[in-house]
Amino acid sequence: MAHINRRSWLKTLTSAGAGAVLLSPSQILAAMPTIEENTTNGMVRLSSNENPYSPSPSMKKAIAAIDPDLCRYPNSHFATLEAIIAKREGLDPSQVVVTSGSREGLKAVGQMYSIRGGEIVTCLPTYKALISYAEFLGSKIRAVPLTEELGYNLPGIAKEIKSETKMVFICNPNNPTGTLLDPGKLEIFCRKWSASVPVFVDEVYYDYIEQKGYPSMKSLISEGLDVIIARTFSKVYGLAGVRIGYMIANTRIATEIRNSLMSGTNIMGLKLAMTALEDKEFYNFSLEKNREGKRLIYSALDELNLRYLPSHTNFVFFKTGRNISEVQRAFTTEGVQVGRAFPPYLDWCRISTGTTEEVKVFVGALKKVFA
């Protein structure tokens, strides 16, 4: 379908009344934003690990149906979404806390465990929302370097857990490296150490894990352990702009998180999340396009002999051998926005998977920058 017809076709779809919109992958693709619609200030934005194929047709339809609810407080919808998520995850609704993006939950938890001082142990580089906020509030961050393979260093973290430790933060798969921990080792770690300190496992990229049957650490929560998990609707579900995510924890910790939230999310986020959970087609489509994007990125990096880490996320971390500020400038000149600096890996670059068209623009730019 020509792009020119896309808007009117979508309009027909979204005005077709209530009910799920079930589409084939090619129909979904035809309804997706064009590269021109996705660019910000003329730049292809591959810097923030978003899902550029969103909003899906079912999302557009749901947005059109939300109007009458906009004047209402969203309170009752929190419980509805938490119950839906709990059922899917095999948990009790009291163990799920819906938040304004997972970042609100990360900050709430950071606050809970830093308010009385002490230390948080983690690896760096990693996703810093929780630890930066905890540091701002007075916590000391004990940062362990990654392993030689740039993986999370669990034995290194274990060595740093002391009486002052208030929490351990693990990001799995990790941002910015895209690496995944051995699930058995992670489970043993969580079981052992959560008896002394809460262990936070950020599973925001869980859906992208390439290893079949890779377990979530949520099963430990069902056993009542002090493990806290972050999930989001910002990535594979494509709702980064709407701000909706959730925390999973045992009922005691979950209640404390709920009481620590600033305001939670809004009716739009709650309703769109419910729609997103029903749209299996868009979920599978997004995962497949992400795989395709990664394949294109890997093959270009292979061609140029640039080292990269096989990724379990929607981005790829690759070694440029040049300072990231210089690399960012070179890509900007080519119209591509790449990820920020991740010290101490200043000669590495993180690139998000965009649409296939956007990835092709990146590949063209890569070949020019590293010619």
Ligand X SMILES: Cc1ncc(COP(=O)(O)O)c(C=O)c1O
Q: Which residues bind ligand X (CB under 6 A)?
A: 49, 101-103, 127, 171, 175, 202, 204, 230, 232, 234, 240, 245
Report how far residue 228's alpha carbon sits from residue 95's, in angstroms, rounded to the nearest whole number.
Answer: 10
Which residue's CB is nearer to ligand X, number 101 or number 118?
101
Owner of token pair 């792009």: 3
| Nearest distance, CB of residue 230 and ligand X, angstroms | 6
**Alpha carbon separation from 102 to 71, 98, 170, 200 (Å, rounded):** 25, 8, 15, 13
| Six-digit token string for 166 | 């208030």
Q: Minimum distance between the CB of residue 172 and ligand X, rounded to whole angstroms?
A: 9
Using the minimum distance from each CB to ligand X, give the nearer residue, 44 or 201: 201
Whichever of 122 and 232 has its CB closer to ligand X, that residue is 232
Query: Would strands 199-202 and 227-232 be described as parallel, antiparallel, or unpaired?
Result: parallel
Least gap, CB of 313 to ligand X (angstroms)? 8
Closest to ligand X by CB, 171 vs 297, is 171
Nearer to ligand X, 171 or 361 (CB): 171
Q: What are the C-alpha distances in Å from 266 to residues 24, 54, 269?
A: 30, 19, 5
Closest residue to ligand X, judged by C-beta, is 101
Do the beta carbons of residue 222 and residue 191 sit within 8 Å? Answer: no
CB 307 within 8 A of CB 150: no
* Cβ at position 271, least distance to ligand X in Å: 17
CB of 108 to ligand X, least distance (A): 12
In the sheet where 245-248 sits, what is the strand order? Answer: 96-99, 245-248, 227-232, 199-202, 165-171, 119-124, 140-145
- Quote the least distance from Cβ 340 to ligand X, whole Å: 11
Task: Look at the block and give the residue holding tokens 């690759």.
Answer: 318
Nearer to ligand X, 179 or 234 (CB): 234
